[in-house]
Chain A
Amino acid sequence: MLKSMLALGKMQFNQYNIYKSNFYLFTLNRIVEIVVYIFVWQAIYNQTGNAGEYTIEQMITYYCLVFTLSSLSLWGVNEDMAHSIRNGNINKELLNPLSYFQYYFGVNIGEMGFALVVGMATFIICSLLWSITLPVSFINFLLFIIVILLGIPITFFFTMLVGTVGFYSSSIWGMQILRKSIISIFSGIIAPITLFPMWFQNIANILPFKELIYTPINIWLGQITINEIAFIIMKQVIWIVILYMLAKLFFNHAVKKVTINGG
């Protein structure tokens, strides 16, 4: 099972990699997006001597890491799902010896693999352009990795939840943008969560998206104590279970309704 999932992942990865230009362009895209944020914060820092609650180096590191990690939480298999529902490929996918979830988790591995490669390239270029602070300790770096890895199933099950809407409506595209927007706001992609109003922070503390970007970066920057991290990992595990059950329930309900347009 694991082997075939990895094979699927490799296929998806190679699909991106056929065109080497993809890699350069995706990386360029990341850099273009970072530039605006960094210059805006530098301007704020120069005017007020303050960049949020961070030093300017920390803020620059924050955004460089945001765009190193953001593809991991924003990309996903929604388009592939919608596509195969529309052209009838879903037939084959449902009859696979792998379950539907396993199949797409495999595809998702490839997606994440490519996101990781682009992310690493982004990080390397950023570290050449700006001075980035390194993780405060090796333990923090390890915990940073663990929290990110635990984020992958969270993103995946959330994607499946959104993708299942495709069984009911043919325009999944709008839902996808909504998913990305929710993640962008609540994960801290656009700005550190602490800069938002209190009521917003309370919502973000409950939702699992903060742990995709904001929390790991703050672990890197050494702003979170080890005790808090234990609590965070527990929260992540609970959310993985909740999202898995929700996605599975919704899918089991939807798959009964599936109507296939020829194919």
Chain B
Amino acid sequence: MTKIFDNISLYLSFLKASLKEMLIYRFDCIVGMISQIVTQLVEIIFIWIVFQNTDNLAGWNFMQILLLYGVTLISIGISDFCFDALYDIGPKYIRNGEFDKILLRPVHPLISIIGSSKEFTSLGYFGLGLFLTIIMLIKLSIPITIILILKIIFFSIVGAAIIGAINTIFSIASFWTYRSNEVIWSFYRMYTFAQYPLDIYNKFIRILITVILPFAFVAYYPTMNYLGMDSNMIYIAPIIMIILWVIAIKIWNFALKKYRSTGT
């Protein structure tokens, strides 16, 4: 158990180093953040167009969908910030031999890699998500109580951890293909499915994002809880998070045993 806490505290100090680095590249960071927000605005324009053609989507109105969108973005922002380096495992670490150095460190290599994440631009997602969430909670006249705030904080972190675990699981592809980024990205993108009510999808996709890649627990079920549409599914999210991380770490350790250096 102490080992786990050691690893977590080490991770936090890695994170602090990254934050300091962010202050050095201030300009790049701001440009990145703005461009992240712009890409999201493009998606929001689509949602707006949808509601020019209908007044509800499977029972959800415009503001409710935007709340779901905002809550998702908060988790996406956190997970991009914390787990971004997973994309680099293939191209940056394994292909050119960096990974061998990391194996020699007295830390679990997963912590070393995740700790080197520094996707500050994801703060653009986070900021936009927070903004949308607050505005929509007010517009929907949902009382913002302390309990609700704590719930949103807790379940946003859980959501981010769920995404992080899924990305970690797919990142092992880099041990074989030497390029993790596209593999992770392809599956990660499926989180966008859970930005709309599940009722619009067919059975296959519903099972896909609740059971196989449980992105629905990142924001969809939590948002239903905040809106009072469904109160229980949200509490499964932490359990799913734990299960996914156990799987992710097991799979990683298995892949580590199989790892062969490229010899570069």
Contacts and interface: CB of A to CB of B under 8 A. Distances in A.
Interface of A: 19, 21-22, 25-26, 28-29, 32-33, 35-37, 39-40, 42-44, 47-48, 50-52, 170-171, 173-174, 176-178, 180-181, 184-185, 190-191, 195-196
B201 A174 contact: no
A177 B36 CA distance: 8
B53 A50 contact: yes
B189 A174 contact: no
Contacts of A43: 57-58, 199-200
B49 A32 contact: no
A29 B185 contact: yes
Contacts of B45: 185, 190-191
B39 interface: yes
Contact of B38 (A42, A47, A181): A181
A27 B202 CA distance: 21
A29 B201 CA distance: 18
Interface string B194-205: 011001111001
Of B31, B177, B195, B199, which is in contact with the most chain A CB atoms at under 10 Å from its CB? B31
A47 B60 CA distance: 12
B5 interface: no
Interface of B: 27-28, 31-32, 34-36, 38-39, 41-43, 45-46, 49-50, 52-54, 56-58, 177, 179, 182-183, 185-186, 189-190, 192-193, 195-196, 199-202, 205
Nearest to B195: A36
A47 B54 contact: yes
A25 B181 CA distance: 10
A191 B205 CA distance: 22
A196 B177 contact: no
Contacts of A170: 28
A184 to B, nearest CB: 5
A29 B28 contact: no
Nearest to B194: A36
B53 A52 contact: yes
Contact of A36 (B27, B179, B196): B196
B127 to A, nearest CB: 16
A213 to B, nearest CB: 14
A71 to B, nearest CB: 14
A177 B57 contact: no
Contacts of B202: 39
A35 B204 CA distance: 12
A171 B42 contact: no
A174 B27 CA distance: 11
Of A22, A33, A181, which is in contact with the most chain B CB atoms at under 10 Å from its CB? A181
B192 A181 contact: no
A35 to B, nearest CB: 7
B180 to A, nearest CB: 11
A124 to B, nearest CB: 18
Of A19, A37, A47, A178, which is in contact with the most chain B CB atoms at under 10 Å from its CB? A47
Nearest to B47: A40
Given A39-B200, A40-B196, A40-B200, A28 B186 contact: yes
A21 B35 contact: no
A22 B202 CA distance: 28
Given A171-B27, A174-B32, 7 more contacts: A25-B183, A39-B205, A51-B53, A177-B35, A185-B42, A190-B49, A195-B49
B138 to A, nearest CB: 26
A173 B36 CA distance: 11
B177 A19 contact: yes
Contacts of B34: 174
A181 B31 contact: no
Contact of B42 (A35, A37, A42, A184): A184
The 9 A-B residue pairs with the shortest CB-CB distance, nearest first, are: A174-B31, A177-B35, A43-B200, A174-B35, A25-B182, A171-B28, A190-B46, A191-B49, A44-B54
B119 to A, nearest CB: 12
Contact of B201 (A28, A32, A39): A39
Nearest to B184: A25
Contacts of B50: 40, 44
12 contacts: A25-B186, A35-B205, A37-B46, A39-B200, A43-B200, A44-B50, A48-B53, A181-B35, A181-B39, A181-B42, A190-B46, A191-B46
